[in-house]
């Protein structure tokens, strides 16, 4: 499993690019479409490479309902077209539903984008994107893909809590910005801190192999996305 470069204010820390989490029973997303017993729709376990490569609208809003409230992301395709296209199709497929904010570092960023099913993660892991040029700075409220080095973006994103301009030269290209509800993002549970092995937070390798049973038992206070939908 490739590593994802997870930025810090003064350094880039490597972490697992794709992790998994069993979906919480309280979340009502319908997983019945998958015929392989994975619990996820077949569109997620067997993504159509041609369909997910189709261009997204020039701009669109995504309403993200979380365990702390709702915030809205405005995506700008002219900022980072490949990244925005991927984000658009992930949202359309319901990819982010029931996923955890597994790494929240106060004053820096909140990271999300590992799915609740290991088969989904395995399906998307090889679908890496070519990089987009960095056209916008990683200012507070901007939304950016995590990366495992050149041309390795897949599904993980982070929201900048601060003006992290040092990330720009590292190739982290923002795809959009939180335009409403940044207070919700600010309120995401952050007391677990940095993930293992650098800190005491979730170990992404264990998320990948043990799912939400591991997170629920060891990190029950993590906030999560209930749903993410294209807003009218």
Rounded to an integer, what distance in angstroms lies between the CA atom of residue 170 and that of residue 155?
Answer: 18
Quote the CA–CA distance of 79 and 75 in Å, as a whole number.
8
Mean pLDDT of 87-115: 94
- Nearest Cα to 60, choosing from 32, 30, 81? 81
What's the pTM value of the predicted model, to 2 decimals? Answer: 0.85
pLDDT of residue 207: 76
The residue to which tokens 């017993």 are assigned: 37
DSSP codes of every residue in 13-78: EEEES--B-PPPTT-----TT-TTSSSS-HHHHS--HHHHTSPPPSEEEEEEEETTEEEEEEEETT
Answer yes or no: are the C-beta atoms of 176 and 143 closer than 8 Å. Answer: yes
| Arithmetic mean of pLDDT, 9-26 | 32
Residues 3-17+56-230: name the CATH superfamily.
Answer: Cyclophilin-like (2.40.100.10)
Q: What is the pLDDT of residues 59-78, one digit of tens each?
A: 999 999 999 999 999 999 99
pLDDT of residue 205: 73
Dihedral pair phi/psi, residue 153, rounded to 5°? -65, 140
For the cut 60, the answer to whether the pLDDT of residue 56 exceeds it is yes
What is the reported pLDDT for 38?
57
* Nearest by Cα to 65 from 24, 97, 92: 97
What would the pLDDT profile of 205-226 be if each residue is shown by its tens digit? 777 777 777 788 889 999 999 9
Q: What is the 3-state secondary structure (H, E, C) of 129-156?
A: ECCCCCCCCCCCCEEEECECCCCCECCC
Residue 182 has φ and ψ, to the nearest 5°, of: -60, -25
| Predicted confidence (pLDDT) per residue in 139-177, tens digit | 999 999 999 899 999 999 999 999 999 999 999 999 999
Residues 161 and 172: their CA atoms lie apart, in Å, by 15
**Tally of CA atoms within 13 A in the half-sphere of 16 that contains its CB:** 20
Give the start-to-end residue ranges of the domains of the chain.
Answer: 3-17+56-230
pLDDT at residue 6, as a whole number: 52
* Cα 191 from Cα 220, distance rounded (Å): 12
Q: Write the CA distances from 8 to 57, 133, 171, 197, integer angstroms.
A: 31, 20, 14, 15
């Amino acid at each position: 499993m490739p590593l994802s470069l997870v930025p810090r204010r003064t350094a880039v820390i490597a972490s697992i690019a794709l992790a998994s989490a069993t979906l919480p029973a309280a979340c009502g997303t319908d997983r019945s479409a998958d015929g392989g017993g994975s619990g996820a729709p077949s569109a997620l376990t067997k993504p159509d490479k041609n369909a997910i490569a189709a261009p997204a609208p020039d701009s669109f809003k995504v309403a993200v309902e979380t365990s702390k409230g709702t915030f809205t992301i405005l995506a700008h395709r002219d900022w980072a077209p490949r990244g925005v296209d991927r984000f658009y199709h992930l949202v359309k497929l319901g990819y982010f539903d029931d996923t955890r904010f597994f790494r929240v570092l106060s004053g820096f960023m909140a990271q999300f984008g590992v799915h609740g099913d290991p088969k989904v993660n395995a399906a998307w892991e090889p679908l890496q994107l070519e990089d987009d040029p960095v056209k916008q700075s990683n200012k507070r409220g901007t939304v950016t893909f995590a990366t495992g080095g050149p041309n390795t973006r897949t599904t993980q994103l982070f929201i900048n809590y601060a003006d992290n301009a040092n990330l720009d030269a590292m190739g982290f290209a923002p795809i959009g910005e939180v335009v409403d509800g940044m207070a919700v993002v600010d309120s995401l549970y952050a007391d677990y801190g940095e993930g293992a092995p650098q800190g005491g937070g979730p170990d992404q390798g264990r998320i990948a192999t043990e799912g939400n049973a591991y997170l629920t038992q060891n990190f029950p206070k993590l906030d999560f996305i209930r749903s993410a939908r294209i807003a009218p």
